[in-house]
Amino acid sequence: MKGKLNSYTHTISACFIGYVVQAIIVNFAPLLFLTFQTSYHIPLSRITMLVTVNFGVQLLVDLISAGFVDKIGYRASMLLAHLTAAGGLILLAFLPDALPDPFLGLLIAVVVYAIGGGLLEVLVSPVMESCPTDNKEKAMSLLHSFYCWGQVGVVLLSTVFFSVFGIGNWKILALIWALIPVLNLLYFTAVPIAPLMQEGERGLSVGELFKSRIFWLLLLMMTCAGASEQAVSQWASTFAEQALGVSKTVGDLAGPMAFAVCMGLSRLFYGKYGDRIDLDRFMAGSSLLCVLSYLVISLIPVPALGLIGCALCGLSVGIMWPGTFSKAAASLRGGGTAMFALLALAGDLGCSGGPTLAGMISARAGDNLRAGILAAVVFPVLLLLGLWLLRRVKAREKTVSKI
């Protein structure tokens, strides 16, 4: 089998599917939030905890992975990521009904697949980065677009499944989604994986990274990128159903799927034309568009405009995550596994903090999601500030190096 899959084209394809797996982990459960709330009588405040725990566990895995990924190797780590991702989805189908407290069953399942999600966040980008490809920024944006197409697939196919077979059969769908990480696990046993660092080189240590002002700004930007994306994405379905008063089917299609399609188009656009576009300007314009979309969603009480705001938000956040990864790879040569792990940590911190802040503010405002999304506008504003500071720091360091 290895002889047949010895091309790095297969490695790139496996990485693309890896982000589809990540999309399943992040986006499947939120489609069921109202179902969990009604079927298991779990209040919105505890449902919020599922989002927090998901990204919190991913964050913890990001933190510790820098210490063991290089030791056990990228292939073994990638296999472990897919194994836990599949295991968590399988547990999601069985544990809530098997335990006296359904919420505990949901929580355990989320923890298991979040381990896989955290590992994928750390592993997929550097494995892709190590492949011999032209124009790494374009390749990175294209890679991350597959997260979006995975999200579209999860929302669209799940919605069709629920419409045909009923929402009560969601456990069967969880098992179907588990097949994708199982099959990609087998794929990763056969594809070639190039070393991230050339022979004789070593990556920067955590201590060396923390001494860099550029790295601290990149951490801020990754945190805000994750928060800007997930503050709307995680609540898009619930927002469409509750705040806009539409059905679950319309809510899922018009909320998270429209968001994901627009995010994917943004990444696909940069993946195709990135060599002609200034990344800083593209990210700055996207941040401003993100602020506008948040204001439309939260302040204009017109359902159609609210849904358009969700789509615009997806378009605006598309470049934030892959763009920051690309800027890090270009700015900190030799960052290695530690850099990608810590950037993933910061991104997942934002992914956890964004929807959690929105959920907490919403709960305090009487379950008003508009208020929560309005509060989260701080994240794209901070990302814009980070871009400006990063440009100033890099210009100053370039001036010093000339002297």
Cα 194 from Cα 128, distance rounded (Å): 9
Evaluate whether 91 touches 109 at the Cβ level (below 8 Å): yes
In 159-278, which ranges are E strands? none
Task: Encode the chain (403 residues) as per-residue pLDDT tens digits.
Answer: 444 466 888 898 999 999 999 999 988 988 888 888 888 888 877 887 888 888 778 878 888 887 788 788 889 999 999 999 999 999 999 999 999 999 999 999 999 999 999 899 889 988 888 887 766 777 788 888 898 888 888 888 998 899 899 988 999 999 999 999 999 999 999 999 887 665 556 667 788 888 888 899 999 999 999 999 888 876 677 666 665 666 666 666 667 777 888 989 998 888 888 778 888 899 999 999 999 999 988 888 777 787 788 888 999 999 998 889 888 888 887 777 788 888 888 887 888 788 888 888 888 888 777 788 888 899 999 999 999 998 888 777 666 655 5
For 272, other C-beta atoms within 10 Å of its C-beta total 13
Q: Provide the CA 221 distance to its chain's centre, in angstroms.
A: 14
Q: Provide the CA 398 distance to its chain's centre, in angstroms.
A: 33
Evaluate whether 248 touches 167 at the Cβ level (below 8 Å): yes
Q: Positive or negative, the Cα torsion across 363, 365, 370, 371?
A: negative
Cα 92 from Cα 220, distance rounded (Å): 33
* Residue 158: closest CA among 173, 178, 138, 144: 173
Cα 272 from Cα 32, distance rounded (Å): 35
Amino acid, single-letter form, for residue 102: P
* DSSP symbols for 46-73: HHHHHHHHHHHHHHHHHHHHHHHHHHH-
Q: Is residue 333 part of a domain?
A: yes
Q: Provide the CA 240 distance to its chain's centre, in angstroms.
A: 21
Evaluate whether 350 touches 227 at the Cβ level (below 8 Å): yes
Q: Is residue 301 part of a domain?
A: yes
Q: Is residue 82 part of a domain?
A: yes
Q: What is the pLDDT of residue 159?
A: 84
- Note down the domain range covering 327: 8-192+206-402
Residue keyed to tokens 């296999």: 79
Q: Is residue 198 part of a domain?
A: no
* Residue 255: closest CA among 290, 307, 325: 307
Cα 397 from Cα 403, distance rounded (Å): 10
Q: Is residue 200 part of a domain?
A: no
Amino acid, single-letter form, for residue 45: S
Q: Is residue 329 part of a domain?
A: yes
Q: Is residue 199 part of a domain?
A: no
Q: Is residue 3 part of a domain?
A: no
Tokens standing for residue 400: 């010093």
Q: What is the pLDDT of residue 3?
A: 43
Amino acid, single-letter form, for residue 296: V
CATH code for position 15: 1.20.1250.20
Total domains in the chain come to 1
